[in-house]
Structure 1
Amino acid sequence: MGDAAVPRVVLAPDKFKGTLRAQDVAQAMQRGIPSGVETVVLPIADGGDGSVDAALSAGWTPWSVDTVDAWDAPRRTTVALSGTSAIVEVADICGLGAMHPSPEEAAQASSYGVGVVLRALLERGATDVVLALGGSANTDAGAGMLRALGLRLLDASGAEVSGDARALTSVTTVDVGGLDPRLSDMRLTLACDVNTPMVGPDGSAEMFAAQKGADAAMIRTLSAALSHLASVAEPAFGRRGLSHRPGAGAAGGLGWAGMLLGGAATSGATVFLELLEAPAKLERARLVVTGEGRLDEQSLRGKAPCAVAELARDTGIPAVAVVGRLDLPETEPTPFLDVVAIDRIDPRCVDDPDLTRDLIAQATGGLVGRHLPVTTTKNGDIR
């Protein structure tokens, strides 16, 4: 339970993408906490890469599954399990990794491996599955995943359509008869780190395909392919208008495919704060320290650190943040009492994980020193 008189600080950072995992960031923060302060370490995620690690750190069990990556190469992924519940991380199946795709490769990237993992979970008896949708390489409307689960996409001659996303424009018939019937007993939660639709001027291709390797011409082609498939598939499922819903555009349209299967799209940050029992872990805290690699406008749309800060605010606890880089104007309101960007202390941290750890510890110590409401005994102990 801990001594109620001892000040408690909750360390709840997300990853510094490409540099440190959330667990590593939290450990670095802990180094900066002064003696006499109790810490609660709570690495977090919002549906992007690091989601399974966050669940495992909270006591979930790892399970390895053989699958394929976005370009059909063999891959093994880790799923987090708790009873009949599971968390699947799309970024670890069909993510970019270290790949820098060409426009051609961007079109070829598939979500098929996600369907392979879902099928394995059905075999295992999972009934409650969270798909963490951030960080994918594909822009295929989740067609690969659906095909792995038994859906057939047919062209005008009755031939099955497969291959890259550009082929989706030739689909004239969607046969749902072969879908795995056990899907109807699976509760599917779509943990989204973005709220974009799949089609439209702010759709999957328009907003995210460029960072997945597509050039302007390929973006237009992929956009047309997603729109066409939605027009054919939604009537076959009896679910019209899904492609325009918030979250449908997550993971190159995997959000939309999950909705076709009856899945519910929700904020990834909210999902993981609940799974990690964050409200209970914030009890008696006097300060919350969160953070991520880059704090920008996307962060304010429900990314994990902002969700943590808002949860803390709702319970009357101040929240501060340590970030790698701050890309917001000084006048932009945030839910944080204070923010320290470590690249402004030493820009070399961008390429140096060890320096990043040191600066995170330094920044955390400074924030706690400034903002932790404490008193000191005659012996110098913090209370």
Structure 2
Amino acid sequence: MQLDAAQRVVLAPDKFKGTVSARHLVGVMAAAIAELSPTTVVSALPVADGGDGSVEAALSAGWRADTVPASDAWGDELVATVARLDDRAIVEVASICGLGSRQPTPDQAASATTRGVGRAVAVLLDQGVREITLALGGSVTTDGGAGLLEALGCELCDSAGQPLAPGGAALGTLARVRTTGLHPGLRDLRLVLAGDVDTPMVGPDGSAEMFARQKGADDDLIARLSAGLAHAAPLLEDAFGARGAALRPGSGAAGGLAWAGLLLGGQLRSGAGVFLDLLDAADTIRGADLVITGEGRLDAQSLRGKAPVSVARLAGAFGVPTVAIVGSNRLPLESTGTAPFAEVIALDRIDPACARDSGLTCRLVGQATRTLVEATLDLSTNTENGARP
């Protein structure tokens, strides 16, 4: 069975978090298409939306890997891999102070800090980097970016003049802010804050209320974190001249790290949009016959601009159909008609064990790729010329 040699398929999945990387998924999909039709042109476009996998997506687009010293959410030293291109860099927050597979205790959640991210940024500024994109997804912190600010030279002290303890639980004791020691490189920095949530930092649907529980906080700590962020917000915003930033949609990303970025003059952008631009996705998708995307879980949050939906909307602007292979499809029934996909295959409906088995996931992705390519491109069976049915 052969496709028209002129046909082209773009492979643009995000990762299946905790199971298979986006780059590996592209390889699996490409192999399945090559088996089905060796003459089909395949364009590889592994994508990200500001979470883990963001640096890998940049590397696939020709950026180079570099390393910088940093520390994790509890101060343990580490070496972080960042992506570099000329005087630009991408820092993946999840690789420095990420949740990963951890299950923090409330005490650990209370003291988790973004200082390590600030250390990485400071090193890049020392090296002459003038544009830094912070990929905000996957953090374990809820400190409002206080650690980042301190690592960049901001002084945060309590009423006795002592530096605050690490973590969001200490923000309620903030009494004095000094910005005179901020890193001079910040003056010329273009800071891009790439995230996929529209949560504000403070308020009834703020960062602590929406995300701190999954980072190890209990009810008491969530209340303390919320109160601390609300207390610190006006003090820091007055010091930086950025009143109201804590109420902006998206400022609550990464436990308020996005808010700290706004204080430094950063620009909030959709993580998916940032990486689609970085990958020149429009040029790759324009003129294709089909786009295959996917992610581990398709749900209502996906419709708010996560990578697969952003890919499908971009493809739709060029009249290119998009199909999706996902680990699980949890879109509300009333939203199904608004999802911009020609078809969706959910692997857990074929075999629920795929969520725990990367090998099984890859096999199912290969099968689903063949099914979608045949169905969407309307292949016909031709046994007379030796093609496989």
- TM-score over 0.5 (shorter chain): yes
Residues 1:279 and 2:282 aligned together: yes
Residues 1:18 and 2:18 aligned together: yes
Contact 2:110/2:167 (<8 A) preserved: yes
- The CA deviation string for residues 320-357 of structure 1, in whole angstroms up to 9 with x for no partner, is 10000011134422011100000111111111110100
List aligned pairs for 1:292-311, cutoff 5 A. Answer: 292-311=295-314
What amino acid is the match of 1:168? L
Residues 1:362 and 2:367 aligned together: yes
List aligned pairs for 1:166-315, cutoff 5 A. Answer: 166-315=169-318
Identity %: 54
Tell me the residue number matched to 2:351: 346
Tell me the residue number matched to 1:37: 40
Contact 1:153/1:162 (<8 A) preserved: no
Residues 1:9 and 2:9 aligned together: yes
Which runs of 5 or more structure 2 residues have no equivalent in the other structure? Answer: none
Q: Partners of 2:113 and 2:326 in 1: how far apart?
A: 32
Q: Partners of 2:183 and 2:165 in 1: how far apart?
A: 18
Q: Partners of 1:373 and 1:261 in 2: how far apart?
A: 52
Q: Partners of 1:7 and 1:244 in 2: how far apart?
A: 48
Normalised TM-score (structure 2): 0.95
Contact 2:126/2:185 (<8 A) preserved: no
What amino acid is the match of 2:111? Q
Which runs of 5 or more structure 1 residues have no equivalent in the other structure? Answer: none
- Tell me the SS of whatever aligns to 1:62: strand
Q: Partners of 1:20 and 1:214 in 2: how far apart?
A: 28
Give the counterpart of 2:81 among 78, 87, 93: 78
Q: Partners of 1:351 and 1:182 in 2: how far apart?
A: 45
Normalised TM-score (structure 1): 0.96
Distance apart, 1:164 and its partner CA: 2.5
Q: Partners of 2:185 and 2:273 in 1: how far apart?
A: 27
Tell me the residue number matched to 1:53: 56
Contact 1:286/1:373 (<8 A) preserved: no
Q: How large is the RMSD of aligned CA atoms in angstroms?
A: 1.7
Tell me the residue number matched to 1:323: 326
Q: Partners of 1:341 and 1:120 in 2: how far apart?
A: 43
What amino acid is the match of 2:44? V
Q: Partners of 1:373 and 1:48 in 2: how far apart?
A: 35
- The CA deviation string for residues 235-254 of structure 1, in whole angstroms up to 9 with x for no partner, is 11111000000110000000
Q: Partners of 1:16 and 1:242 in 2: how far apart?
A: 33
- The CA deviation string for residues 220-269 of structure 1, in whole angstroms up to 9 with x for no partner, is 11011111110211011111000000110000000000000000001000
Distance apart, 1:374 and its partner CA: 5.9
Contact 2:111/2:167 (<8 A) preserved: yes
Tell me the residue number matched to 1:122: 125
What amino acid is the match of 1:9? V
Distance apart, 1:31 and its partner CA: 2.4
- Tell me the SS of whatever aligns to 1:290: strand
Count of residues in Structure 1 that have an aligned counterpart in Structure 2: 380
What amino acid is the match of 1:251? A
